[in-house]
Amino acid sequence: MEPKKRTRHVSKAKYETTLDSKAQHYLNALKVRWMQLHDIPGLFAYQLQESRPGRKLPGKCGFYAELNADRTLKRRVPQTIESLSPTFRPKQFNFNKVDAMEVMMTIDEERDNAEVQMIINKSPITKYHTLICPEVKKELVQRITCSALNFCITFMRNITDPNMRLGYNSPGALASVNHLHFHLLHIPRNLYIDNVELKPLAGNYVYRLKNKEPTEAICFVFDGKESEDDLKEKVQQIHQITEWLCNNQLPHNLFMTHDRKTNDLRVFLFVRSKYCVNKDACVFNVGFCELVGFLPVGDEEKLQSLTEQVVIDRIKDLTGDAFETAYRQTKRIIDGSNSTLWPILI
């Protein structure tokens, strides 16, 4: 007879203070627990090697490709998510179905009265690869909520490890599971996105990449000096943009990282014109990892043959001209002249 699973009781005492003061404590505990679970045979789909073959692609961008054949062969089959306004399907895999041992911790964020589960990614890309899953029991689809965005930004602003990065893939932009989640990864190397130069787009905290950069992105900068009202406004503005993108069926990716020089938090938003229904093995897929210059590949041949120009061409093909409209809408939202969030012709 299968042993009865124990009910886990979370002590509320440890959550009396806000996420601002506890984020680093949570991260420290998460790292310890992740390593403990990684040593348990059969819990992860594979054991992530401490040292993995990698290659910096020749060229000015500094794209870095890393071999992870196990993820290609052993990961769960990605779901087909039909649109940016999908329906939750409880019979499909979702995070209510994971084993209790996979949940490393549950954080009660008092500010938004939200419960966030930190769950191991069973097919990790990097060490400490964790799924941040807000309000799991509410069965939220893979569409960013303001509360979830606020949690992620607050968490990232208050940790001190610059190698921890946070990402999100929308439906049509490499999302694998239609249940709201973000990715927390440990990438201890200088990435393409760490070196891009920015130029002002709107207000005094929203930027785009300079024209000399081969890719496009919107970037919100959080300098740590924001008042609580300023922080709330910035979070709401990013959420307005992602809602507009969803309403206009524009797939998107999000990436949060600390500026390596100033320690400001940068929140990058990438937009594409092409909706990817299924992940495929041709060339390589493009999610938030690839857009920032970190390229997990599935076999040795791709690792050795991939070139900077192939990466740039693939990203540009998926991006199309979606950014021009996104830039205009961002200016409307930030400058306070946002007259509508209804779909417009693009």
> Known catalytic residues?
181
CA-wise closest residue to 156 among 31, 293, 19, 270: 19
Other CB atoms closer than 10 Å to residue 272's CB: what's the count?
27
Q: Where are the alpha helices (DSSP H) in 159-227?
A: 192-195
Other CB atoms closer than 10 Å to residue 312's CB: what's the count?
15
CB 132 within 8 A of CB 116: yes
CA-wise closest residue to 181 among 95, 86, 78, 310: 95
Structure tokens at 132: 């941040």
Q: Following DSSP, what letter does each residue of 4-62 receive, concatenated?
A: PPPPP---GGGGSS-HHHHHHHHHHHHHHHHHHHHTSTTTSSSPPPSS--EEEPSSSS-
State the Cα angle at 156 between 155 and 158, rounded to 5°.
Answer: 70
Q: What are phi and psi of 117, to 5 degrees?
A: -100, 135
Residue 290 in 3-state DSSP?
helix
Residue 262 in 3-state DSSP?
coil
Residue 81 in 3-state DSSP?
coil
Q: Where are the alpha helices (DSSP H) in the chain?
A: 19-38, 69-74, 146-157, 192-195, 228-247, 288-291, 300-305, 308-319, 322-334
CA-wise closest residue to 224 among 172, 273, 159, 163: 159
Encoded amino acid at 334, one letter: I
CB 107 within 8 A of CB 118: yes
